[in-house]
Amino acid sequence: MALTSKITPYDARWPSLFDAEKVRVQRVFAPQVDVEHVGSTAVPGLAAKPEIDLLVVSDHQDEDRVDQEMASLGYERGKNLSVGHMFYRRDVGGIRTHKVHVCRPGHWQVFRMLRFRDMLREDGKLRHKYQRLKLELEARNESGIKEYLADKAPFIDAVVGPPPEA
């Protein structure tokens, strides 16, 4: 089974694609919101699935309104990934283009996503190891994205520490 997208070499357009989507998504959570570019497309030089990951840090209150406004932007609500961590995905023409993680301020996942991104940006050896792992996992993947994410988790946990539920 294929992943949501094929891993491709780094594309210098990814930061500008993030900037454009940030403006759209920020309006849903305004006025007080922080939106960060996370995931592999946020790391210059790193091969990635060409899916822009946004991390929204917001103390939103009205989930029904947020769901409706995100749907108006073409996003589908996924299941909550943990308490205080909502997830949205956007496909265009059947192809995944964006993912939005919405976490409350202080959520443990905010630290992990930003720390891992920053470590990959700063450490070329770590970035190379992670890229090699991702390509190996893609090549041997049989069950799709859940398998891929589960197989990446031990590497990420070794770098930033395990999540509190582990």
> Residue 18 belongs to a domain with what CATH number?
3.30.460.10
> Does residue 166 sit within a domain?
no
- pLDDT given for residue 12 in this prediction: 97
> Does residue 81 sit within a domain?
yes
pLDDT above 70: residue 1: no
pLDDT above 60: residue 166: no
Q: What is the mean pLDDT of the chain?
A: 92
Q: How far apart are CA 76 and CA 63, in angstroms?
A: 13
Residue-number span of the structural domain to which 128 is assigned: 14-160
> Does residue 99 sit within a domain?
yes
> Does residue 4 sit within a domain?
no
Q: Which helix (H) or strand (E) holds 99?
A: strand 95-103
Enumerate residues 6+ apart whose C-beta is below 8 A from 6.
Answer: 49, 138
Q: Is 36 helix (H, G, I), strand (E, B) or coil?
A: strand
Q: Which residues of 120-133 are buried (b: 16+ CB within 10 A; e: fewer)?
A: beeeeeebeebbee
> Does residue 120 sit within a domain?
yes
Mean pLDDT across the stretch 93-99? Answer: 91
> Does residue 6 sit within a domain?
no
- Helix runs in the chain, H state only: 14-29, 63-72, 108-122, 124-140, 145-160
Structure tokens at 7: 């891993």
**pTM to 2 decimal places:** 0.91
Q: What is the pLDDT of residues 69-84, one digit of tens each?
A: 999 999 999 988 888 8
- pLDDT given for residue 3 in this prediction: 63
Query: Could you give the C-alpha distances from 165 to 82, 108, 144, in angstroms and in order?
Result: 9, 10, 24
- pLDDT given for residue 116 in this prediction: 96
State the residue for tokens 């890229």: 131
Please count the structural domains in the chain: 1
pLDDT above 60: residue 64: yes
Q: Which residues pair with 100 in a beta bridge?
A: 54, 88
Q: How many angstroms separate the first and last alpha carbons of the chain?
A: 27
